[in-house]
Structure formats: C-alpha cells, structure tokens
Amino acid sequence: MSEFTFLKGSEDWWRQAVVYQIYPRSFADANGDGIGDLKGIISRVPYLKQLGIDAVWLSPFYPSALADGGYDVDDYRNVDPKIGTLEDFDQMIDALHAVGIRVIVDIVPNHSGDGHVWFQEALRSPKGSPARDRYIFRDGKGQNGEIRPSELSSHFGPTAWTRITEPDGTPGQWYMHLFASEQPDFNWDNPEVREDFLKTLRFWSDRGVDGYRVDVAHALVKNLKDGHLPERQSYDLSVMKNDGTDDLFDRDEVHEIYKSWRKVFNEYQPARMAVAEAWVHAHRRPPYASTDELGQSFNFDMLGAGWDVTKVRDVVKVNLKAAADNGTSTTWVLSNHDVIRHATRFGMPDDTDFFRWYGKNRFNAKVDEAQGLARAKAMTLALLALPGSTYLYQGEELGLQEHLTIPAEQMQDPQFFRNPEFGFSRDGCRVPLPWSRSGSSLGFGPGGSHLPQPAWYVDYSVEAQDGAAASTLEFYRKALGIRAGLVCEETWSEVKHLFNRQVFHFKRPNGWQSITNFGSKPVKLPKGELLITSQPLVDGRLGANATAWLK
Ligand code: NOJ
C-alpha cells in the first residue's frame, strides 16, 4: 500500500471520485417557476447523500439569457435570479459539505453571453476601442463590409460571424462566435480577459467551491495574428491539426492560461481541482491534465465505444495507461447534458449515427429500452470498478431514457434551430427529473416544468423506485455503497478468458473483480464472493448484457 495515494479528504479526493452532474435548471424547483433552482438542490441533499456520490458538478447557474442552456454567461460572479442568490449558493455549499459532498462548478471561458456588461460596452463603443478588443470584432469584406470576414462556421451551424449595428445606427463590424450568436468569443490575447478569469476563480474558490469543469478548454486562444482569420467549415476532430498549430483549437499557447490558473488553485488548501472539457487528439490530452495545469481532462472515448467489447477494452487500456504515464487519473463518462442518455443509446443499433440520424427520425426511433437499460447498468458497473473517477449525469440513476418526442415548438437547444437539416437537439436529456408519481411536474416543483415531461416518466420517478429492491435507483445506491468501501490503489489487471473474448474481466489490487458479459450466452462466474450484479443471474451464471462484482 506504500504508493497508495488516494485518501478521502486529501488533495487527491477527485482522483477516484464519483461525480454527479446536476443540470440546475432541470434538477429540482423549489419556487415553482418551472425552472430548477439552488433551493431545490438544497432540498435534495439527503437524496444525494443517500445515493453515495463524492461530489456534484453544477452546469452553469450564472445569470444568462439561456440562449445555450446557461453556457451563455452574462455575469461570471453571480447567480441567475431565476435560480437563486449568492446566499442560496453559500447555503447549498454548506449543506453539501456538511454531508461530505464536494462541489465542482462550470467555468465557461471561451465565450460570454451577449448580455455580459463587457459585450454591451463593446456594442456601444467605437471600432478599435479597448472595449471591442475584449472580444473578436472584425470588419466585413465587400464594398460596405456586408460580406462576413471569413467562411468560418459555428459549431452549432451555420456561420460563426454576426454583424452588429454601430451606435450611430449604421451596419457595422462583425464578431466571432464559435457557438450561438448570443455567445461572443473572448479575445484571450487581451490581458484584461485573463485577469478577469483569475478573479472569477478566486471568487468561487473563496466561497468554498472545490473544483471547476472547464468548458471547451481547448478553444480560447485562436490564430488571429497579422490579420489571419480561421476559415474552418467542420468541427470534426479529424480535421483538427494535432501539433498545437491548429487555427482554433488546442493551440500550444492555451497552456500558459492553465498554468496561471493552477497558481490560483494552489493558493487554496486543499488545492482546487479542475477537469478540462478538451476534445483533442488523445496524445494532446496530457498537458491539460498535468499537475501544472488543470489536473484532469475528460476522456469521452466511452461515448464512442458502444456495446463492443473490443472497443471498450481498447478505450480502457489506452486511457488508463495515458493517465498513469501522466500522473493523473482518467474520467469515465457515459452520459452528460450534451449527449443522448446512454440507456437509450444502448437500445439502438450499434452503428447509429446519433447526430445525423436521431434528429430527423426521433419520432419513429426504434429503441429496445430493456436492452438499453440492461447494457447501461452493466457498463456503468464495469466503469465504476476501474481506476479513475466516474461522472454520472442526473437521472441516469433512475434509468431514465431520452425523451425523444419533444415537439419542435417546445425545444430550447440552439443546435436544433441553427441546424434544421439535422434536427438534432440536446433537450431530450435535459428534461426535469421525475421525483414523484404525481403533481404538476412529478415532484420537480410545484409549478410545472420548463421542458415537457413525457407520461412514462412516472414509472421512472424516485417515488416509484425508492425502496424497490429491483429498481435502478436501488442498484446505483448499492453499487456506490460497495464501491466506497473498495476504492484502492489505482492499478488494475485484465483477466483474459482465452476461449471467450466477449467477456471483459479485470481485477483491482485488493481482489475486487468486475466481469461483464458482452456475448449472448451466459458465462460462469469466477471464484469469489458475489457482491452485486446488474441483472439477476441465469442459473447461477452471468447472462448477456450484465456485469457482476466479486471479491
Ligand atoms: C460544451 C457544453 O457542454 C455545451 O453544453 C455547450 O453548448 C458548449 N460547450 C458551448 O459552451
């Protein structure tokens, strides 16, 4: 045990933590306006405690016009009045800390919301002014500047440039936004921008926040030197340069920023942690996760592995090796607020192109929900047994399926509106949680819900599952409880089943074993005390789509 560094309560608490993502607007609504709030979270602290998580990560709760679900931040050092107040925030931190749950908040440094005082000042200020220099304003092309400065497209489609009206009423300059037009990109070459984010990090750290999830951490610095403007049409990783010289993403210079953030994190005791949302080539992840910078970087590879044992095995091996080589720990992610819930993904054919297919076909999607849920539970159980931290997304502990049939007029996601040819929306995983079997929003709050809940949510409610031995909720509670007692040194070894490669079986150094059956025939369990299974055994064997833990 000499090299065993994981100690609860220490600086390293995050290395093998179970982090539960709360999407605040859809978790619990205390004031009855149909939008979740901090008081709602406070009211559910006993639930979170009973679930057995180590930390929560809160998606943005800052003042926002909600052009992108709160990722358009108008004030980085405040709470949206619809969600609560700074006093509520302090109470929430105290309530969570009191039961041993840490708090990670989202930081959105690539862009603000267009209601941010700086952007409003920029709109009022003349071309070339210091206020405009905090963002990326450029003249248009053409005789009257009417043609956008470059062909750069937005991640949400179509263009990344929006033209403003100058204070004198004439059509004016254009500003760059990699996401929605309400999300102007900051100019990270401007020292004021850099300083302001350090101030924000200190502001929340002083209030007791334990860590940060850094939104699009690989963007920030762009190649804008000597009048150059990016022309990129696709956001696919395959077109991103992998040597630090890409026009938009993962430029080498971005690491100076995170080095300066680390100095701030280390001003605190224990040092604040951070995890980068950095969609970069695998070999470029290490610096983000280094101890000089953010400390951890999301590994989203499991999202692309499907129910394919070869891919899963590969993703596990590659990421655990990379994390170990780099002195950090990896993250396991199956769901979040941006992707189709994994209980639904695993119920669709493995080769489904979720982005292109799902949008247009969502009303007649054929989902095998029972298979989806079985595979979701099996995969979750396997990942919880691996070294590294696991990020859970609210509602997955209820086995929630994606809400596929939200009518277009009730959609909120800018991706849905800006890319009509795909019709892809992230709203289906952001529907307010069902807490009870009845009430205007199934216990989410006393006043309805900002996205419609489908009728079948009743059966997934906490009330329907609480205490029911076979429920998904009780399964999560049991698994997390067992895991808490077993977390150990961050190593693992695969147990190879030479005659059945459809089995993924590994051991941790303390004898903890996890075995998953990706094949169709039941398999014999290894020797040991059976701790938990994701499905009942079949004649004493582990059936298809199931995982078991033994010791
Ligand atoms: C990633 C976030 O997870 C997503 O929800 C958001 O739309 C973009 N970044 C832009 O902030």
State the distance from the centre of ligand 1 to the C-alpha of 288, rounded, in angstroms: 18
The total of other beta-carbon atoms located within 10 Å of residue 18's CB is 21
Yes or no: say if 199 and 262 are a contact pair by the CB < 8 Å rule. no
For 205-209, which contacts have Cβ atoms below 8 Å and span 24 or more sequence positions? 205/264, 205/265, 205/267, 205/268, 205/272, 207/86, 207/89, 207/90, 207/93, 208/90, 208/93, 208/94, 208/97, 208/103, 209/93, 209/103, 209/104, 209/105, 209/272
71 lines ligand 1 (CB under 6 A): yes
Question: Counting beta carbons within 10 angstroms of the beta carbon of residue 212, is it exposed (0 to 12), middle (13 to 18) or buried (19 or more)?
Answer: buried
Q: Tell me whether strands 513-517 and 503-507 are parallel, antiparallel or unpaired.
A: antiparallel
- The residue whose CB lies within 8 Å of the most ligand 1 atoms, and thus the one to mutate among 71, 183, 340, 427, is 71
Q: What span, in angstroms and rounded, lies between the C-alpha atoms of 331 and 281?
A: 16
pLDDT of res. 71: 98
Q: What span, in angstroms and rounded, lies between the C-alpha atoms of 232 and 247?
A: 8
Q: Respond yes or no on whether the N-terminal peptide bond of residue 158 is cis (omega within 30° of 0).
A: yes
The amino acid at 143: Q
Query: pLDDT tens, 487-537?
Result: 999 999 999 999 999 999 999 999 999 999 999 999 999 999 999 999 999
State the distance from the centre of ligand 1 to the C-alpha of 71, rounded, in angstroms: 6
- What average pLDDT is seen over the chain? 95
pLDDT of res. 9: 54
Question: What is the atom index within ligand 1 of the atom nearest the CA of 72?
Answer: 11
Q: pTM value?
A: 0.97
State the distance from the centre of ligand 1 to the C-alpha of 217, rounded, in angstroms: 11
Q: Is the dihedral of CA 300, 306, 311, 313 positive or negative?
A: positive
The interaxial angle of helices 472-486 and 369-384, nearest 10 deg, is 10
Residue nearest to atom 10 of ligand 1 (CA): 71
180 lines ligand 1 (CB under 6 A): no
- The residue whose CB lies within 8 Å of the most ligand 1 atoms, and thus the one to mutate among 185, 216, 418, is 216
Residue nearest to atom 2 of ligand 1 (CA): 215
* Residue 7: pLDDT over 80: no
DSSP symbol at 1: -
39 pLDDT band, cuts 50/70/90, is: very high
402 lines ligand 1 (CB under 6 A): no
Yes or no: say if 194 and 179 are a contact pair by the CB < 8 Å rule. no
pLDDT of res. 8: 46
215 lines ligand 1 (CB under 6 A): yes
352 pLDDT band, cuts 50/70/90, is: confident
Using CA atoms in the order 250, 270, 46, 43, what is the torsion angle rounded to 10 degrees?
-70
Yes or no: say if 18 and 390 are a contact pair by the CB < 8 Å rule. yes
2 pLDDT band, cuts 50/70/90, is: very low
List, in order, residues 6 or more apart from 252 with CB less than 8 Å away.
244, 245
- The residue whose CB lies within 8 Å of the most ligand 1 atoms, and thus the one to mutate among 331, 338, 412, 418, is 338
108 lines ligand 1 (CB under 6 A): yes
The amino acid at 268: Y
Q: What span, in angstroms and rounded, lies between the C-alpha atoms of 200 and 205?
A: 8
The answer to whether residue 139 is catalytic is no
Residue nearest to atom 8 of ligand 1 (CA): 71
Q: What span, in angstroms and rounded, lies between the C-alpha atoms of 97 and 173?
A: 48
Per-residue tokens: 471: 């429920």
Q: What span, in angstroms and rounded, lies between the C-alpha atoms of 391 and 334?
A: 8
Residue nearest to atom 5 of ligand 1 (CA): 338
Query: pLDDT tens, 281-332?
Result: 888 999 999 989 999 999 999 999 999 999 999 999 999 999 999 999 999 9
68 lines ligand 1 (CB under 6 A): yes
Residue nearest to atom 11 of ligand 1 (CA): 71
State the distance from the centre of ligand 1 to the C-alpha of 105, rounded, in angstroms: 14
Q: What span, in angstroms and rounded, lies between the C-alpha atoms of 137 and 151?
A: 15
State the distance from the centre of ligand 1 to the C-alpha of 169, rounded, in angstroms: 32
Question: What is the atom index within ligand 1 of the atom nearest the CA of 414?
Answer: 7
List, in order, residues 6 or more apart from 267 with CB less than 8 Å away.
202, 205
138 pLDDT band, cuts 50/70/90, is: very high
Yes or no: say if 441 and 29 are a contact pair by the CB < 8 Å rule. yes
Pick the catalytic residue from 267, 314, 459, 494: 267
Residue nearest to atom 6 of ligand 1 (CA): 71
Yes or no: say if 259 and 252 are a contact pair by the CB < 8 Å rule. no
* Residue 1: pLDDT over 80: no
Residue identified by tokens 């990670």 is: 104
106 lines ligand 1 (CB under 6 A): no
Q: What span, in angstroms and rounded, lies between the C-alpha atoms of 340 and 195?
A: 36
121 lines ligand 1 (CB under 6 A): no
Question: What is the atom index within ligand 1 of the atom nearest the CA of 71?
Answer: 11
Q: What is the mean pLDDT of residues 121-127?
A: 98
State the distance from the centre of ligand 1 to the C-alpha of 218, rounded, in angstroms: 12
Considering only CA atoms, which of 111, 23, 114, 108 is closest in space to residue 74? 114
Question: What is the atom index within ligand 1 of the atom nearest the CA of 156?
Answer: 7
pLDDT of res. 533: 98
State the distance from the centre of ligand 1 to the C-alpha of 215, rounded, in angstroms: 6
Residue identified by tokens 């920030």 is: 220
Yes or no: say if 548 and 505 are a contact pair by the CB < 8 Å rule. no
Q: Is the dihedral of CA 257, 153, 451, 369 positive or negative?
A: negative
Pick the catalytic residue from 80, 210, 215, 301: 215
The answer to whether residue 267 is catalytic is yes
Share of the chain above pLDDT 90, in %: 90
What is 343-365 written as a DSSP string? HHHTTS-TT--IIIIIHHHGGG-
Q: What is the mean pLDDT of residues 116-126?
A: 98
State the distance from the centre of ligand 1 to the C-alpha of 68, rounded, in angstroms: 8
Query: pLDDT tens, 246-260?
Result: 999 999 999 999 999
